[in-house]
Structure 1
Amino acid sequence: MSKITNQLNKQLENNMSEKVIKDEKMNRWFHGYEIADDVRSLRDVFLDLHIGRGDAVLVCLPNTAAYPVITQALWEVGAVMHPIAATTPELELQQELAEHEYVASIVGQELVDAALDDRLAIVTALHLQTYPLLHIIRDRKLMGNDAGIPEEDDLALIMNTSGTTGKPKRVGLTHRILLNGVEHDIESHQMTAADTTMVVMPMFHINAQAVSILSTRLSGGKIVIADKFSASKFWNQVRDNGVTWVSVVPTIVNILLINQKANENYSDDIRLRFARCSSFALPLDKLTAFQTRFHTRILEGYGMTETASQCTINPFDAPKVGSAGKAFKTDVQIMNDGKIMTVANQIGEIVVRGDHVISDYLESHPNSFKDGWFLTGDLGYLDEDGYLFVKGRKKDIINHGGEKVAPAQVENSLSQLNFVKEVSVIGTPDALYGEAVTAVVISQGMQEESLERQKILAHARETLANYEQPTRIYFVKDYPRNATGKVIRLKLREQVLSLVGSVG
């Protein structure tokens, strides 16, 4: 048995009569013995269906206490879990099943017909304590492997990248890589058995899988699983369940700050050690406002699916506001023209390597790797103290008359305006400059758009270089987003161009 699977078993053995996982939608805590019973029941079904070592199983479920059960049961027979969004369209689910050899899929009742799709299969309906009616669809065209004890370099998880600029890549994470990443998370976040975390991020995402669930289980803590983030319920859930830390993204921070119900429900008896925030840079004013209003700290970090999540984190005793923190058990460098930069404060591509970083994708992409480094595609710099500052994606850089504009730089500036709820900056075609710096704003709706446009332009003149100042400003109700809430810039660009017709 792999080390991480053994440790998951020990966590249950040590907490048989203790509450370990709560499903908020069911409003029920599950004790260690109940989770262990569900793992055993599911593992026995996998054995009966001849799902074994190396077999990939697609999981398409909402956030649920059954997720940790499914993960552990699959690993105990040596199989591999590939979770995808519960909101995946039926056609996309069918394409995923057709393109790759999944021995089985696990879905809720509403997706059984789509997952079957006229294929020859065995459908097993299973009643679990953590999920009333689970459906396992076993593809009979695939033989499957015998159950076996997984070794450290066997695949444990297949995860899709966020795919904000193109088709998601499939990332294969081994038992060894996951364990290394989880152990680093436990140490850097100072997790103990006294901690309770709440999962509000989607559970098909590496953040929830590694940072929240696996790290908490291996450190002996408790997990509260919300079916989704709810601003109006958030602080009550934190208080009622004794939550000590939570992993969020900047969008959630912004919503909690402006949501009236959230602010009404917060009280000073809440004891949240920290909120871990990642995905993209949080504007300074939002970070400060959150920490002041809710009497906690925000720990910003940097990581991705390809690294089993975390690469950098702000130290508890020496955070640097605006940065993604310092490298933790990871080698993080800046590369320009294929060479590692040795001078601080020089912007280039962020490259990483370490014992929790993949060496290739499942479908090989050799251009993403160089001399043992994973090329993240993100731009940033390391300051003289080794703190990482992320400036955006290479593919997002705007070429404005030969000047290179990082959208994150402009977004951080415009986010300081109190009427700006969210802002995304993209390049749109311009006959004179090649690309125009275009700000797409979601407003709080407090004043006329014409006045807000004037204020944006005035603020940009005060805070940005001439070439960085937006020359086009559009107001929208929302952005096209992926399943984790990240803005899909390519689709946003298409949306803007469709609104205005031919630009430039």
Structure 2
Amino acid sequence: MNNQLENNLTEKIIKDETNDRWFTGSEIRSDVEIVRDELTKLHIGLGDTVLVCLPNSAAYPAITQAIWEVGANMHPIAATTPKKELQAELNDHDYVASIVKDDLVDAVIDEHLVSVSNLSLQTAPELKLIRDRHIIGHDAQIPNEDDLALIMNTSGTTGKPKRVGLTHKILVNAVKHDIKSHKMTPSDTTLLVMPMFHINAQAVSILSTRLSGGKLVIANKFSASKFWDQVRNNQVTWVSVVPTIVNILLINKKANESYSDDIKLRFVRSSSFALPMDKLTAFQTRFHTQILEGYGMTETASQCTINPFDAPKVGSAGKPFETDVRIMVDGKIADEPNQIGEIVVRGDHVISSYMDPHPESFEDGWLLTGDLGYFDEDGYLFVKDRKKDIINHGGEKVAPAQVENSLSQLDFVNEVSVVGTPDDLYGEAVTAVVITSDHQDEDLKRQRILEHAKETLAGYEQPTRVIFVNDYPRNATGKVIRLKLREQVISTLVGKGA
């Protein structure tokens, strides 16, 4: 991927929308060298892990490239990660260094013995590289294809994220498949609106664009009111989003007012959960572009299926692309169509193990996704539900146990169960179902819960609905029956017209 920089030294290849500035290959290359030289000086090299906690910016690709050039690997996490959660992450794993903005320096240092370096980059002038002196580093060395490149978090049902380790080989294979399936060329420009700690941003948008030779426009975050101006002004040809963004663009008044027919998008790529047929059709009609829906996950470094340009099937996740995707029923691969079972995958871009032991997630070379679905007679995949309890809130994966552990800290909360309930905008709402020990006003208790969540949880983990009940449906041993609880909550919401 370094070739993209060397072959475009005078060309504008990456734009930072926040600063309204394009950067040439030479300018990005200069920032790469600054970070790389500092990493080398601090004895950070082959096999070392660098934690990156930053908002979206043009500095991200430069930092990633520098980390890879010394043979280290990068673990990006959300810029909104609460300080306590950040400190827990640093204490749980051996990060030789962290790269953050000024406001997180104290949280990273905590009680560690560190050195702090200033990274004065053209793409981001005020970043800090914090070296943990307790951890022995390694010499800088060019990595091979089987060395680790990225560590990504993916939520687990226990509330503790699974760590996915992606090698250079896995990433390159995944990105090559993305380029082929999306017909990317050097003439393409993509607008990145997804957070950079997601595989969607890292692989589908950044790496595929770099390998295909296209241009990259980086927004700090998605803005409905700015979206179509960003697309028009930068001659963007495609965008990768989640269904929540599609829904927002449809209903947002400023977005609709700023759209004009001179905008020429080749396609909008949407994944995470299926769009209802009326929303997909309405978007394509209103904004004169094609939506391509697909299915993928962090463990596959991107997509497994995608709808073909010339034969999309609304409601489906498309057909397998350079990936072996099957349905497993009662422990056996089902060959007949329309059999609902667990979606299992394997391929040259699919992990064979997690960084921490999770043998239950693999069987006979297959990655067990935990998602339920089926193939129709034409070979299109339809994703129906999840075996696991993870809540999909606008593309963010929320582990109920994580939220429950936080809310249980409140003295008036006897029990709390968190479930996902249908939401037109976000796919699923994070719904806290609470049993309390007092008779305070419910509005007051709800306010205290939401305030506590804001202090202790990342933005996407915070409950969007809080419901009070006297008890839960339970089995013979007293364990909460989540599926039945979810059904009861949905029934209550429907009755109230929520």
- The TM-score bracket by the shorter chain reads 0.7 to 0.9
Q: Out of 192, 212, 216, which is 2:209 matched to?
A: 216
Q: Which residue of 2 aligns with 1:395?
A: 388
- Residue range with higher mean Cα deviation, 24-33 or 420-429: 420-429
User: How far apart, CA to CA, are the structure 1 residues paired with 2:430 and 2:49?
Assistant: 38
Q: Out of 11, 36, 43, which is 2:29 matched to?
A: 36
Q: Out of 103, 117, 120, which is 1:110 matched to?
A: 103
Q: Which amino acid aligns with 1:308?
A: A
Q: How does 1:36-115 map to 2 (within 5 A)?
A: 36-115=29-108
User: Is 1:347 aligned with 2:340?
Assistant: yes
Native 8 Å contact 1:396 1:426 kept in 2: no
User: How far apart, CA to CA, are the structure 2 residues paired with 1:124 and 1:426?
Assistant: 39
Q: Which residue of 2 aligns with 1:196?
A: 189
Q: Which amino acid aligns with 2:19?
A: M
Q: Which residue of 1 aligns with 2:174?
A: 181
Q: How does 1:91-490 map to 2 (within 5 A)?
A: 91-163=84-156, 166-396=159-389, 421=425, 424=428
Structure 1 residue 281: deviation in Å? 1.0
> Do the aligned partners of residues 108 and 248 (structure 1) sit closer, same or farther apart at CA in structure 2, a change above 3 Å counting?
same
> Do the aligned partners of residues 273 and 46 (structure 1) sit closer, same or farther apart at CA in structure 2, a change above 3 Å counting?
same
Determine helix, strand or coil for the equivalent of 2:52. strand
User: How far apart, CA to CA, are the structure 1 residues paired with 2:113 and 2:426?
Assistant: 47
Deviation per residue, 1:149-206 (Å, 9 max, x gap): 1011000000001457732100000000000000000000000000000110000100
User: How far apart, CA to CA, are the structure 2 residues paired with 1:359 and 1:241?
Assistant: 40
Segments of structure 2 that go 5 or more residues without pairing to the other structure are 391-419, 434-449, 474-498
Q: Which amino acid aligns with 1:27?
A: D
Deviation per residue, 1:249-276 (Å, 9 max, x gap): 0100000000000000000000111100
Determine helix, strand or coil for the equivalent of 2:374. strand
Give me the TM-score of the superposition, normalised by structure 1: 0.81
Determine helix, strand or coil for the equivalent of 2:239. strand
Native 8 Å contact 2:338 2:375 kept in 1: yes
Structure 1 residue 290: deviation in Å? 0.4
> Do the aligned partners of residues 91 and 426 (structure 1) sit closer, same or farther apart at CA in structure 2, a change above 3 Å counting?
closer
Deviation per residue, 1:122-168 (Å, 9 max, x gap): 10011000001110000011110011110110000000014577321
Determine helix, strand or coil for the equivalent of 1:334. strand
Native 8 Å contact 2:244 2:425 kept in 1: no
Native 8 Å contact 2:80 2:459 kept in 1: no
User: Identity, % of aligned pairs?
Assistant: 71
Native 8 Å contact 2:101 2:128 kept in 1: yes
Structure 1 residue 499: deviation in Å? 2.5
Q: Which residue of 1 aligns with 2:494?
A: none
Give me the TM-score of the superposition, normalised by structure 2: 0.81
Determine helix, strand or coil for the equivalent of 1:298. strand
Deviation per residue, 1:215-271 (Å, 9 max, x gap): 000000000000000000000000000100000001000000000000000000001
Structure 1 residue 309: deviation in Å? 1.1
User: How far apart, CA to CA, are the structure 2 residues paired with 1:347 and 1:198?
Assistant: 36
Structure 1 residue 118: deviation in Å? 2.2
Native 8 Å contact 1:162 1:484 kept in 2: no
Native 8 Å contact 1:205 1:484 kept in 2: no
> Do the aligned partners of residues 426 and 21 (structure 1) sit closer, same or farther apart at CA in structure 2, a change above 3 Å counting?
closer
Structure 1 residue 484: deviation in Å? 9.2
Q: Which residue of 2 aligns with 1:3?
A: none
Q: Which amino acid aligns with 2:207?
A: L
Deviation per residue, 1:301-340 (Å, 9 max, x gap): 0000000011000011111111000000000000011100
> Do the aligned partners of residues 254 and 169 (structure 1) sit closer, same or farther apart at CA in structure 2, a change above 3 Å counting?
same
Native 8 Å contact 2:267 2:292 kept in 1: yes
> Do the aligned partners of residues 424 and 68 (structure 1) sit closer, same or farther apart at CA in structure 2, a change above 3 Å counting?
closer
Determine helix, strand or coil for the equivalent of 2:384. strand
> Do the aligned partners of residues 483 and 11 (structure 1) sit closer, same or farther apart at CA in structure 2, a change above 3 Å counting?
farther
User: How far apart, CA to CA, are the structure 1 residues paired with 2:192 and 2:65?
Assistant: 18
Q: Which residue of 2 aligns with 1:452?
A: none
Native 8 Å contact 1:53 1:145 kept in 2: yes
User: How far apart, CA to CA, are the structure 1 residues paired with 2:375 and 2:140?
Assistant: 46
User: How far apart, CA to CA, are the structure 1 residues paired with 2:157 and 2:276?
Assistant: 21
Q: Which amino acid aligns with 1:135?
A: K
Determine helix, strand or coil for the equivalent of 2:468. helix
Native 8 Å contact 1:182 1:210 kept in 2: yes
Determine helix, strand or coil for the equivalent of 1:395. coil
User: How far apart, CA to CA, are the structure 2 residues paired with 1:313 and 1:159?
Assistant: 22
Structure 1 residue 365: deviation in Å? 0.5
Native 8 Å contact 2:192 2:240 kept in 1: yes
Coordinate RMSD, CA, aligned: 2.4
Segments of structure 1 that go 5 or more residues without pairing to the other structure are 1-7, 398-410, 430-476
> Do the aligned partners of residues 395 and 163 (structure 1) sit closer, same or farther apart at CA in structure 2, a change above 3 Å counting?
closer
